[in-house]
């Protein structure tokens, strides 16, 4: 069976982003197609979640969103961010077409930029 995983790397510090809160939403199939919160989790010491975000039958074909609460993490990590930070939450919308595959959505993060890709 497939699974959905993520991890976050703090590229400015050159280390995993530990303690970063992540919300996972389903974007289709909800009432009036409003985002439906599936779970909230936090990254561990290695910048990963302790378990897959979704796996087995919970991983279904459809559209999803990961919301990474980056400003809160960056402040805890010691960044002196302005009152209104450039990046507050990073939102990544993505699709799962084949739920038998592994979908890995990493986030490479700094206070003023980020990137993502489909990892393995």
11-54 residue pLDDT tens: 999 999 999 999 999 998 656 668 999 999 999 999 999 999 99
pLDDT at 120: 86
Name the H helices within 19-104.
Answer: 70-77
List the CATH number of the domain containing 63. 2.60.40.180
Token pair in block for residue 17: 């982003």
Q: What value does the mean pLDDT of the chain take?
A: 95
Helix (H) or strand (E) holding 115: strand 113-116
Q: Count of CB atoms within 10 A of residue 77's CB?
A: 16
The number of domains in the chain is: 1
Whole-angstrom Cα Rg for the chain: 14
Confidence check: pLDDT of 91 > 70: yes
Domain span at residue 102 reads: 3-116
Confidence check: pLDDT of 1 > 90: no
């Amino acid at each position: 069976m497939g699974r959905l995983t993520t991890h976050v790397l703090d590229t400015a510090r050159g280390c995993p982003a530990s303690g970063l809160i992540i919300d996972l939403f389903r974007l289709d199939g909800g009432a009036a197609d409003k985002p439906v919160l599936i779970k909230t989790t936090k990254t561990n010491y290695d910048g990963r979640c302790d378990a897959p975000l979704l796996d087995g039958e919970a991983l279904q074909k459809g559209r999803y969103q990961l919301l990474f609460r980056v400003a809160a993490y960056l402040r805890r990590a010691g960044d002196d961010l302005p009152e209104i930070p450039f990046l507050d939450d990073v939102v990544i919308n993505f699709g799962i077409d084949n739920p038998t595959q592994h979908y890995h959505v990493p986030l490479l993060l700094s206070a003023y930029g980020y990137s993502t890709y489909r990892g393995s």
